């Protein structure tokens, strides 16, 4: 939440910062702003505007090409509404020091009262402005922005990524982080600070990881990292493995559509190199974990939570150990019973979701072993886990998650097969069969994507519906939950996913003449296939307009039938969810919504 960019180097800072903000806008789009150091010791130039980045760009009257140091922010509002005044950067009274922030300063009220008592005047309703005033006081004492940042951070409670600039040192950007993301982009004669690497990927592929409670100073030639006491730290460097093109729309109308169409490749890349032979699985990353666990607990939020729910079915069936899946935000405030024999798996595309991070720490404090499934190299959650398995989905920019989900489920399947292979809970021949099924997935997803046009056309016919219900059983149930979540996020329609068996216990009362119901059928050979077909009859008898998702093993008399290829029942969500994503996408387009930046949402939820 909130995108942050800082630049220092020989190029005009404004264009570098705006380019970075454009790539980070998925993190929040309530307002945007920049602060630029145009002249040594003079007031900074600050431009900020409520609304999307385009609003800010529309109001810029100069390219400020004489500014070579600058910071920029795109906001997801927490404290204070999305207005021009509350937009970041926030300034001290001299106008020479500016701050941008991602996170929440929990003790901002007491800080503000203290600062007001000392005569500071506040302009905004944000928690961030206190930091600008505190920094200003500390800067007056030490004359050094990094020293000031260290002492201010020691006084802050909550989570933050902060960047600050002072016109006395226009080539210096100082950053700090606690529980919110910040990476350094190391260029040639220029350096960057940003919430994630996409902000600077077109200029450098060298990045530095920053740890908890660290302060960083960047000038065009140098990066210095310290802890809050000022002790030097050597940050870990890593290379970004994807290029700028991967973070662009590449001819697609929206990032989401592009990412839906990237799913065959994302799944193939995630499977790549995992099968040294047709009946064995290699997950070197798990070698240091004691896999004699007697329970698995999966923790995640949003779509990643649904990935966990889907994975549970395969793990329990193949590995024969109990799996619980819990919303990270709920888990972290419980007193759960975990032992060293509990393997906790956190799933997070960004690796920065605050609730998942806090749940991970909670699980670690209770003695569990932790494994994270993540798509973002070097992010906080994998760094704090005992082991990590990266998905290879490439950058996911659209706020609504698509390819990340499929790859997360695939990784859970790999983990299940790996443990089953070691424990002998599955026969070699069954493992071979399942590996072959997994390897066929990219082609099957491709097949679905080649035939989505009729589905898109059909979707438009439902654009004025008030509500859409999704029905599934067994592993089709979490797929139904995901279908409903996608529709809510994108189309702003009431949508709910139900387990077919629960229908008669309440949800059937929602069915009225014409209510669209999307029903996901398991393969006809499944023991629940008949039950699901009965559920379809029950809702049709009450006037529902059923759209069925089924493989060719079913002979169905339903006008709205979406075909998916046949596959192993436990893997079916990896296919059935694809048309659900397309349905939500098309509905959002038909209703005139902003697909990539749905209202009120942000991709990476780094506040509680």
In the complex, the residues that contact ligand G6P under the rule CB under 6 A are: 301-304, 348-350, 353, 356, 399-401, 601, 603-605
∠ at Cα 575 (251, 487), nearest 5°?
A: 70
Smaller CB distance to ligand G6P: residue 561 or 601? Answer: 601
Shortest distance, position 18 Cβ to ligand G6P, whole Å: 24
- Output the smallest distance, CB 605 to ligand G6P, in A: 5
Count Cα neighbours of 456 within 13 Å in the Cβ-side half-sphere.
13
- Among candidate residues 191, 161, 189, the one with its CA nearest the CA of residue 176: 161
Q: How far is the CB of 297 from ligand G6P (least distance, A)?
A: 16
Spatial neighbors of 268 by CB under 8 A, at least 6 apart, are: 442
CB atoms near residue 541 (< 10 Å): 9
Other residues' Cβ atoms within 10 Å of the Cβ of residue 291: 16
Assess whether 463 carries a catalytic annotation. no
> Angle of helix 263-271 relative to helix 428-450, nearest 10 degrees?
160
- Which residue number, 209 or 355, has a Cβ lying nearer to ligand G6P? 355
Q: Which is nearer to ligand G6P, 279 or 482 (CB)?
A: 482
> Considering only CA atoms, which of 293, 418, 379, 398 is closest in space to residue 344?
293
- What's the token pair of residue 193? 């600070």
The helix or strand, by DSSP H or E, that contains position 395, with its residue range, turns out to be none
Report, in Å, the least distance between residue 405 CB and ligand G6P. 8
Helix (H, G, I), strand (E, B) or coil at 156: coil
Closest contact distance (angstroms) between CB of 392 and ligand G6P is 15
- Separation CA 310–CA 308 (nearest Å): 5
- Supply the minimum distance, in Å, between the C-beta of residue 112 and ligand G6P: 30
Q: Would you say 270 or 303 has its CB closer to ligand G6P? A: 303
Least CB distance to ligand G6P at residue 357 (A): 9
Distance from C-alpha of 136 to C-alpha of 354, rounded to nearest angstrom: 29
Nearest distance from residue 514's CB to ligand G6P, in Å? 30
Q: Which of 155, 150, 158 is nearest to 105 (CA)?
A: 158
Q: Based on the residue annotation, tell me whether 603 is a catalytic residue of this protein.
A: yes
CB 370, CB 342: distance < 8 Å:
no
Residue 362 has φ and ψ, to the nearest 5°, of -60, -45
Residue 302's region, left for phi above 0, alpha for psi from -120 to 50, else beta, is left
**DSSP run (H or E) holding 73:** strand 69-75
From CA 61, how far away is CA 14, in angstroms rounded?
12
Closer to ligand G6P at the Cβ: 321 or 389? Answer: 389
Question: Measured from the CB atom, is 130 or 348 closer to ligand G6P?
Answer: 348
Torsion on CA atoms 456, 458, 464, 465, rounded to nearest 10: -110
Rounded to a whole number of angstroms, the minimum distance from the CB of residue 208 to ligand G6P is: 21
Minimum CB distance to ligand G6P smaller for 146 or for 487 = 487
Nearer to ligand G6P among residue 69 and residue 103 (C-beta)? 103
Residue nearest ligand G6P, Cβ-based: 302
Given the residues 96, 403, 444, 603, select the one marked as catalytic: 603
* Number of C-beta neighbours around residue 54 at 10 A: 13
92-126 burial, b if ≥16 CB within 10 A, otherwise e? beeebbbbbbbbbbeebeebbeebeeeebeeebeb
User: Quick one: 147 or 353, whose CB is closer to ligand G6P?
Assistant: 353
What helix, strand, coil percent values describe the chain, rounded to 5?
Answer: 40, 20, 40
Minimum CB–partner distance for residue 302 and ligand G6P (Å): 3
Closer to ligand G6P by Cβ: residue 31 or 353: 353
Question: Among residues 323, 417, 321, 340, which one has the least CA distance to residue 386?
Answer: 340
Which residue, among 499, 494, 487, 445, has the nearest Cα to 590 in the 3D structure?
A: 487
DSSP string, 81-138: -S-TTTSSPEE-TTSSEEEEEEEEETTHHHHHHHHHHTT----SS-STHHHHHHHHHH
- The residues that are catalytic are 2, 603
């Amino acid at each position: 939440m909130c995108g942050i960019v800082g630049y220092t180097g020989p190029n005009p800072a404004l264009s570098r910062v705006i380019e970075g903000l454009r790539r980070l806008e998925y993190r929040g789009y309530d307002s945007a702003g920049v602060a630029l150091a145009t002249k040594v010791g003079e007031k900074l130039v600050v431009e900020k505007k409520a609304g999307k980045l385009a609003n800010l760009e529309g109001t810029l009257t100069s390219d400020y090409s004489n500014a070579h140091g600058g910071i920029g922010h795109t906001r997801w509002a927490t404290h204070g509404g999305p207005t021009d005044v509350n937009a970041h950067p926030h300034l001290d009274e001299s106008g020479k020091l500016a701050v941008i922030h991602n996170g929440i300063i929990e003790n901002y009220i007491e800080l503000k009262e203290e600062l007001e008592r000392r005569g500071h005047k506040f302009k905004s309703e944000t928690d961030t402005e206190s930091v600008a005033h505190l920094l200003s006081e500390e800067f007056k004492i030490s004359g050094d922005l990094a020293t000031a940042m260290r002492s201010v951070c020691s006084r802050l409670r909550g989570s933050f990524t902060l960047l600050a600039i002072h016109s006395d040192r226009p080539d210096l950007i100082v950053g700090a982080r606690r529980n919110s993301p910040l990476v350094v982009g190391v260029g040639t004669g220029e350096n960057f600070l940003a919430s994630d690497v996409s902000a600077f990927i077109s200029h450098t592929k060298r990045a530095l990881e920053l740890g908890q409670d660290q302060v960083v100073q960047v000038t065009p030639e140098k990066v210095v990292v310290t802890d809050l006491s000022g002790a030097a730290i050597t940050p870990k460097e890593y290379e970004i493995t994807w290029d700028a093109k991967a973070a662009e729309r590449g001819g697609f109308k929206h990032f989401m559509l592009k990412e839906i169409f990237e799913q065959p490749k994302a799944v193939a890349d995630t499977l790549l190199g995992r099968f040294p032979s047709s009946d064995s699985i290699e997950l070197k990353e798990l070698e240091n974990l004691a896999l004699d666990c007697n329970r698995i607990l999966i923790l995640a939020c949003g779509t990643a939570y649904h990935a966990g729910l889907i994975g549970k079915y395969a793990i329990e069936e193949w590995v024969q150990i109990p799996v619980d899946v819990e919303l990270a935000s709920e888990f972290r405030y419980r007193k759960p019973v975990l032992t060293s024999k509990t393997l906790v798996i956190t799933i997070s595309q960004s690796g920065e979701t605050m609730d998942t991070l806090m749940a991970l720490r909670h699980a670690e404090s209770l003695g569990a072993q932790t494994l994270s499934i993540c798509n973002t190299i070097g992010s906080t959650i994998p760094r704090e886990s005992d082991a990590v398995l990266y998905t290879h989905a490439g950058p996911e920019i659209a706020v609504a998650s698509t390819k990340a989900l499929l790859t997360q489920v695939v990784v859970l399947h790999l983990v299940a097969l790996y443990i089953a292979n070691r424990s002998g809970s599955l026969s070699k021949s069954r493992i071979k069969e399942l590996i072959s099924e997994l390897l066929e997935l990219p082609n099957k997803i491709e097949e679905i994507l080649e035939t989505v046009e009729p589905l898109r056309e059909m979707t438009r016919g439902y654009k004025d519906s008030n509500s859409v219900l999704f029905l599934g059983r067994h592993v089709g149930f979490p797929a139904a939950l995901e279908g409903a979540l996608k529709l809510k996020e994108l189309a702003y329609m009431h949508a709910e996913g139900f387990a077919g068996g629960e229908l008669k216990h309440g949800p059937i009362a929602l069915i009225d003449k014409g209510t669209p119901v999307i029903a996901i059928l398991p393969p006809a050979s499944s023991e629940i296939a008949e039950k699901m077909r009965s559920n379809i009859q029950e809702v049709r008898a009450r006037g529902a307009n059923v759209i069925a998702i089924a493989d060719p093993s079913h002979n169905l008399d339903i006008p709205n039938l979406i075909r998916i290829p046949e596959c192993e029942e436990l893997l079916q969500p990896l296919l059935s969810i694809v048309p659900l994503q397309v349905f939500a996408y098309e509905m959002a387009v038909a209703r005139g919504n902003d697909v990539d930046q749905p209202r009120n949402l942000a991709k990476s939820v780094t506040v509680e």
